[in-house]
Amino acid sequence: MRAVMILLLAGLVSACSHPRQEVTGQLTHQVLLPAHQQWHDSNAALLVATQGYCASELDLAALKQSFYRSLQGWAHLQPLMIGPLAEGNRSWQVQFWPDKRNLVARQVEALLDAASSLDQQALENGSVVVQGLSAFEYVVFDDSVDLEKQSERYCPLLTGIARHQVALSAQVLSLWEGPDGMTAMLTTFPNARFANVDEALGSILRTQITAVDTLKKKLGVPMGRLNKGVPQPWQAEAWRSQHSISNLQASLSGARAVWERVRSLVGDTQLVTRIDAAYENTAQKLAGLSEPLVLLVQHKDNQLRLQSLYDSLDNLETLQQIELARDLGIQLGFNANDGD
C-alpha cells in the first residue's frame, strides 16, 4: 500500500512539474472554467432582471445594465469557448451575428405574430435567431419597439430568451464536470479527446487565435472591407445597443488571459516582448475609440484610426498564429474567417 501511495505521489509530482501541463491546468481552472461560470452567473442575473422588469419591479435602465453584463460575459468568453460551447450549434443560440438580412427583427416579429401567447416550448422549437442575446437586444434597444408600451407582447419573449440562456449555460457547465468532462480532458492525458498535453494546449490556442481573427471580422465588416470600402454600419456587432467597442475590449481581454498563462512557455524573450506590446497596443487603440462602432465607421475622419486598429489586430494574430506556434512547436491549423 505504501509503495502504491509513493508511486501515485510521484506521478502527481511529475505531472505538476511538466510546464505545459501546469500551464494547461492553470488555463483550465483559472481562466476557462471561471469564464464559463461568470457567463452562467450573468445569464442567471439577466433572468432575474427580466422577470423583475416584466413584473414592474425594475425599470428599463436596470434591464439594459443586466443585458450589458450578460453580453460582456459572452464577449469575454468567445476566445475561451473550447469544447462544449463550440459544439452542437450552441454558440449560435447565444448570439446571431452577422445579421446581413435583418433576420433577427423579422423572425422575432413573425414568431410573436404567429403566437397569441408565446410560451417557452414555442421559443425552444423556434430558430436560434430568436433564442439569443441578439433577439433580446432587438426588443430592448431597437427604435421600432416601444417596450414600455408593448410589454405584454414582448415580455414573454424576453423571459423565454433569458430562461433559454440560463439553461444553455447550465448545460455547458455540466459538460465541464465529471470524469469525462472538459475539465478532465484538459488536465489528464491521454483521454478520448487529447492524446497528450500538446494537443490540448494547441486546441486552446487555436480557439483563442481564431477569436482574434473574428475580432478582425467584427471590425472589418462594418468598415466595408468586404464591400469595396463602403461602410456597413448596420453590420456592426451589437449596433442597436451601441456596444461593439466594449465587446471587442471584452474579447481581447479573454484572448489576453490565455496569452498571459502561455507566455512562460515561450523560449524567445524578444517574441514575448513583441506579443506583450501587440496586446497593449491593440488595447490602447480600442480605449481611444470613444464612440460606438456603428457611428465611427460613418465618418471618413475615423478611417485611419480604425485601419490602425485593424492592422494591430492583424499583427497580433500573425505573431501568435505563426511565431508563437513555431516557438512552441505546436501545429495549430485553422479554418480562417471568410477572407477578412
- pLDDT tens across 128-168, in order? 999 999 999 999 999 999 999 999 999 999 999 999 999 99
Report pLDDT for 334: 60
Q: Looking at the structure, do residues 177 and 285 belong to the same domain, yes or no?
A: no
> How many structural domains compose the chain?
2
The C-alpha cell 433572468 sits at 47
Structural domain contains residue 29: yes
Report pLDDT for 338: 44
Q: Looking at the structure, do residues 175 and 201 belong to the same domain, yes or no?
A: no
Separation between Cα atoms, residue 340 and residue 328, nearest integer Å: 26
Angstrom distances, CA of residue 200 to CA of 27, 108, 176, 205: 11, 39, 14, 9
pLDDT at residue 10 is higher than 50? no
Structural domain contains residue 148: yes
Which pTM was predicted?
A: 0.92
Q: Looking at the structure, do residues 178 and 281 belong to the same domain, yes or no?
A: no
Domain boundary among 161, 186, 211: 186
Q: Which domain holds residue 134?
A: 19-186
Domain boundary among 186, 215, 238: 186
Domain boundary among 186, 220, 246: 186
Q: Looking at the structure, do residues 111 and 209 belong to the same domain, yes or no?
A: no
Q: Residues 281-330: pLDDT tens digits? A: 999 999 999 899 999 999 999 999 999 999 999 999 999 999 999 999 99
Q: Looking at the structure, do residues 234 and 167 belong to the same domain, yes or no?
A: no
Structural domain contains residue 3: no
pLDDT at residue 6 is higher than 70? no
The C-alpha cell 481573427 sits at 213
Structural domain contains residue 12: no
Q: Looking at the structure, do residues 180 and 47 belong to the same domain, yes or no?
A: yes
Structural domain contains residue 244: yes
Structural domain contains residue 256: yes
From the list 57, 70, 32, 37, the residue with the least C-alpha distance to 163 is 70
Q: Looking at the structure, do residues 98 and 214 belong to the same domain, yes or no?
A: no
CA torsion angle 279 282 288 290 (round to 10): -110
Q: Residues 231-277: pLDDT tens digits? A: 999 999 999 999 999 999 999 999 999 999 999 999 999 999 999 99
CATH number for position 75: 1.20.1420.20
Q: Looking at the structure, do residues 177 and 224 belong to the same domain, yes or no?
A: no
Q: Looking at the structure, do residues 170 and 307 belong to the same domain, yes or no?
A: no
Structural domain contains residue 238: yes
Report pLDDT for 14: 45
Structural domain contains residue 4: no
Q: Looking at the structure, do residues 66 and 202 belong to the same domain, yes or no?
A: no
Q: Looking at the structure, do residues 132 and 226 belong to the same domain, yes or no?
A: no
Could you tell me the pLDDT band of residue 178, with boundaries at 50, 70 and 90? very high
Rounded to the nearest angstrom, the gap between the alpha carbon of residue 8 and the centroid of all alpha carbons in its chain is 38
Q: Looking at the structure, do residues 113 and 162 belong to the same domain, yes or no?
A: yes
Q: Which residues contact 44 (CB under 8 A, 6 or more apart)?
A: 166
